[in-house]
Structure 1
Amino acid sequence: MPYAHCKGILYGTMTVELGGKVIIECEKSSYVTELEFKLKPFFGGSASINQISGKIKSEDEVLASLDGHWDGEVYLNDLKNGTRNIFWNPTSDIRKQRLKRHIVVFEEQTEFESERLWEHVTSAINEGDQNKATEEKYMLEEAQRKGTRERKENGTEWSPKLFTYDVSGNEWQYKYEE
């Protein structure tokens, strides 16, 4: 997966972009796709947001290239015959198929659930007060560091309250997923 790159944490408008390289390999066909999620350059308009480029290879031969915007149209350029076709276009029908976000009502959240835990940071961001948001974030992180130090000093092992580890699936599961 690409990484999330956050800008504007200390000043300016806070934004999150996807960046980095992703490699997808097919064991059956030996096709390899290399995708690059590009960060917006320092000097660039809205056309340079969410850009993606890549290539599809078989062994060392590049068969096609990809370019466009991952949240819009992505084009496939067939290098053998020189054609350019739309490979991906997230229409409104496709967007409707996205997973629905499950939100626990704020009043029912425990103190360590994200929305409640980050409540003061979120409020400061919504108020446009980056200084206060940074202070609140710092206080939250310091409280977490203090808890880690105390557990270490007491020899207490940390165990998540809202997640369990599924050994068979090798992943963390939210306890109240259903």
Structure 2
Amino acid sequence: MSASGTATPVLADVILSPTSLTEFPAYWCEHPELFATISEGTTAEERMESVLRWFIATLKGQYTTRNEKMGSEKKPLNPVLGELFYGTWPDENGRGETILVSEQVSHHPPITGYYIANEKAGVVLQGHSGQKTAFSGTAINVKQSGHALLRVKPKDGSPEEQFLITLPKLRIEGLVWGAPYIELTETSAIQSSTDYSAVIEYKGKGYFSGKAHSYKAVLSKGSKHINTYEGQWTGISNIGSSKGPVFYDADEPKEEVTVKPVDEQGEWESRKLWYKVANGIRSGDYETAGKEKSRIENEQRQRRKDEQAANTEWPSWHFNHIDSDADFQKLVALMHDKTQPQTEDAYVYKG
């Protein structure tokens, strides 16, 4: 409640995060060295395993960071159409700089397009994601729409390889106790143009390792089984079995994305757009946060009304929408009975 006794127009900090969903693609590259070194694999199988390791390395940041920083899962700020986020990871070990361009390309339904590239390393990721939520008993189920396409130019001179990455489903638990947290559920998959694939199954406590945030990945080429990887995506996972060699340790240091200071950002850039809202949430000034959040949302609604009246559409800054992607279709055809994205449309980076 505000000082006047009226309800503050923003949910308290137990629910809201000071971070917009437009920033979330940065979690794909909190381990930029793992991203850059994919192209250094000397065989298609080695590169496939590197893609799987890098993907597992992205999960802890994406799905548990807010628990660690703020005590429980928070609801991200809903981006406005045209919202932008730019970031970089500096060159390390001579492998080149990695850049990120993220844009809210649709508001209804909410979709974020992203492009991450290390041109020197020959590794480029682009994709889009959205969320659909539904209540189920005492939890919230979140279905992530979209997919990512990774392109790799191997350092050994082999032809370019492509990897289609599908997105896991989420289940937000702990609502009854006021301490929400995320578990990944069901399966996701990575399919390469060389016919290597990885199907990743996610389970919570009591399955595989008997611990929360568990997964088991099966690497195959066509119908031939190659290897398995299992453990916790928030902890240690091993090759072959829980007693096998370490595949990945999620406690390895991560690198936060580098962003220009807020006063040097444009008005559509995420941290400048939401600056007063984020400050209000962090400082406990929910009245100011609520007023600023309502102002931004009202301006968004008015823009859409103006566009409808003028029979125009918002022009995307960095991405073009396409209904059908030939590379996507080729990779889906190789997936056989694996988890497949439901749609083949895409948002292609135009610079």
Normalised TM-score (structure 1): 0.59
Instruction: Find 2:270's aligned residue among 114, 120, 123.
Output: 114
1:154 — aligned with what? 310
Q: Which runs of 5+ in 2 are unaligned?
A: 1-54, 67-72, 77-174, 206-210, 322-346
Shift of 1:62: 4.7
Structure 1, unpaired ranges of 5+:
42-46, 174-178
Question: 2:318 — aligned with what?
Answer: 164
Partner of 1:9: 75
Residues 1:170 and 1:150: Cα distance change in structure 2 (over 3 Å): same
Contact residue 35 and residue 55 of structure 1 kept, 8 A: yes
List per-residue Cα deviations over 1:11-44 (Å, max 9, x = no partner).
Answer: 956877766633112343x332112455x67xxx
Instruction: Rate the CA distance shift 1:71–1:25 in 2: closer, same or farther, 3 A.
Output: same
Counterpart of 1:84? 244
After TM superposition, the structure 1 = structure 2 runs for residues 56-67 of structure 1, keeping only pairs within 5 Å, are 56-60=219-223, 62-67=225-230
Secondary structure, counterpart of 1:33 in structure 2: strand
The answer as to whether partners of 1:9 and 1:134 remain within 8 angstroms in 2 is no
| Distance in 2 of aligned mates of 1:115 and 1:165 | 20
Higher RCO, 1 or 2 (CA under 8 Å, sep at least 6)?
2
Counterpart-to-counterpart distance in 1, 2:239 and 2:270: 39
1:22 is aligned to 2:185: no
- Tell me the distance in 1 between the aligned counterparts of 2:234 and 2:261: 29
Amino acid at match of 1:24: I
Amino acid at match of 2:187: K
Superposition deviation, residue 58 in structure 1: 4.3
Q: Look up the SS of the partner of 1:170 in the other structure.
A: strand
In structure 1, the residue corresponding to 2:245 is in which secondary structure?
strand
2:301 is aligned to 145
What aligned pairs does 1:23-38 form with structure 2 within 5 A after superposition?
23-28=189-194, 30-36=195-201
1:84–1:60 CA distance, 2 compared to 1 (3 A): same
RMSD of Structure 2 on Structure 1 (CA): 4.3
Cα distance in 2 for partners of 1:13, 1:130 equals: 20
Give the TM-score of the pair, scaled to structure 2.
0.34
| Alpha-carbon distance in 1 for matches of 2:348, 2:189 | 21
After superposition, what is the alpha-carbon deviation per residue over 1:95-153, rounded to whole angstroms, capped at 9, x for unaligned? 47x5x623122112222210111112211321246686566445423321221121121
Q: How far off is 1:67 after superposition? A: 1.9
| Contact map agreement 1:9 1:130 (CA 8 A) in 2 | no
> What is the distance in 2 between the residues matched to 1:31 and 1:85?
21
The number of aligned residues is 155
Read off the aligned partner of 1:126 and give its amino acid letter: R
In the alignment, the residues of structure 1 paired with residue 286 and residue 249 of structure 2 have an alpha-carbon distance, to the nearest angstrom, of 36
Listed as ranges, the matches of 1:64-75 within 5 Å are 64-75=227-238
